[in-house]
Amino acid sequence: MSNLAQARVGLIFGTDTGNTEDVGEKICDELATMGISVDMTNITDIDESYFERHDFIIMGIPTWDFGGIQEDWEDQYGMLNSLDLSGKTVALYGLGDQLGYGDYFLDAMGWLHEIMQKVNANMIGYWPTVGYDFEASLGCSPDKSHFFGLAIDEDQQFEQTDARVSHWVKQISEEYGADQAA
């Protein structure tokens, strides 16, 4: 399956305020313009079979306060850790507030990235840190050159969300195709 339009794509999100779901809908809308349909589901409504049914899985997670994991994701910790995602491609997006919580920006995405690596997911969709102003993040590389997925700040940079989503969706589509061709 070398092209994303032929893949079974799932998008999983967890949210308390609705922002992570809203960004997920934007991602699905952008993929739809490329002829790609997405099965978008709340993390509370999935089990292991969800991962079996999809070739490519996009996961959206917000960071709460001082690096906290959104509760619905935390509740699924055991299930996530028991997965074997060998042969599955995963991309992440995370929401946070880089100015209000600049020492913990997107820490939850880092938590999820670590789990996905442990369960052998093939990770794509890394995103540059240029244009963000934060002190520390578990959601980015040690050299702070890239995030482990799309970084969204609906509190401080909401006006950039649509453009970032559009660019990232093109990026993951290309990366998925290149990954499958390899």
User: pTM above the 0.85 mark?
Assistant: yes
The CATH number of whichever domain residue 72 belongs to comes to 3.40.50.360
Q: pLDDT digit string (tens) for 96-139? A: 988 777 778 899 999 999 999 999 999 999 999 999 988 889 99
Q: What is the DSSP string of 13-71?
A: E--SSSHHHHHHHHHHHHHHTTT--EEEEEGGG--HHHHHH-SEEEEEEEEETTTEEPH
When divided into structural domains, the chain yields a total of 1
The pLDDT tens digits for 49-93 are 999 999 999 999 998 777 678 888 989 999 999 999 999 999 999
| Residue 168 lies in domain | 4-181
